[in-house]
Amino acid sequence: MAKPVLIVTRRLPPTVERRIEKNYRALLNPDDVQFGSESLLRVASSADGILCTTTERIDRTLIDRLPNRLRIIATFSVGYDHIEVAAAQRRGITVTNTPDVLTEATADVALLCLLGASRRAYEGNRLVRERTWGRWSAVDFLGVGLQGKTLGILGLGRIGRATARRAVACGLSVIYHNRTPVAEASTIPAEYVARLDAFLARAQFLSLHVPATPATRHFLNAANLAKLPKGAIVVNTARGALVNDEALIAALKSGQVAAVGLDVYEGEPAVNPGYLELANTFLLPHLGSATIETRDAMGHRAVDNIDAFFAGRTPGDIVAA
């Protein structure tokens, strides 16, 4: 029986690619070039499945032009907002993701962003690297301590809970806002705040952990930023589209927000230049899942789903079929 043809849109960890090459007729991307819609369609003409990443936009127009033989799109990510799932459902194409395996790594980066922003890490790092650090001072580069402060977590899912556990260990009290209370919150502990206005008003630190949807796009706008305590610190390791960049930059300039730690950006890899002009921004290039162990686990989880599908089983991480 012929092996299924699998397109792998980006270069993946070596252990994952070796597994794919063993079990599939693999169309790998050793040069790690970025696929556009037309180039992806060209290679997909003889494919049975696609293993993609968040850097490919697989929208309705592309999905409608995919060959009938292509029956699965597995994304190397938890989020799948880069895939138009409803269009895949209409075509009978299964879509899978890779939950669970990047929870701890992403929560580590959320804490890194929180600490980097609150302790003015960018300013201090720049001072040392530019050799402009003159002398120690008792009143220079004063940051914001965590102990006794309140962290508000928007979205207490797996990554939100992992971030909350780290925050409690650092001396923060945790509140959260969700559509409904989360049973596991009592083990952290974290207090559920049902009203968004009340939640924002108490969040001296705010960490975003919700998916990007039409309802959450630009959640952090001027109106919601104004509801935060003056001098709040904001962290986003979820999706760039959650933030209205111009509103957040204005809040950073006015002091309504004291500092921000960002690992994701709307339109990345482009970054709003306004962030780059400010000293109170701690910026990372989407490192949330970037550990050797996590990227290996993500790749193998994606291949697990593909293996199950071609073996006639239901993939464990199915989001559309």
Determine whether 268 is an active site residue: yes
Cα-based distances in Å from 81 to 131, 132, 224, 317, 321: 43, 44, 23, 15, 16
Q: Which of 11, 25, 218, 286 is catalytic?
A: 286
Q: Which of 120, 239, 295, 300 is catalytic?
A: 239
What phi, psi does 220 have (nearest 5°)? -85, 80
Cα-based distances in Å from 64 to 5, 58, 92: 19, 10, 11
Determine whether 82 is an active site residue: no
- Quick one: DSSP state of residue 278? -
The whole-angstrom separation of Cα 162 and Cα 306 is 28
Q: Which of 21, 191, 266, 268 is catalytic?
A: 268
Q: How many CA atoms lie within 13 A of 141 on its CB side?
A: 18
Residues belonging to the chain:
321
Determine whether 313 is an active site residue: no
User: Which residues form the catalytic set?
Assistant: 239, 268, 286
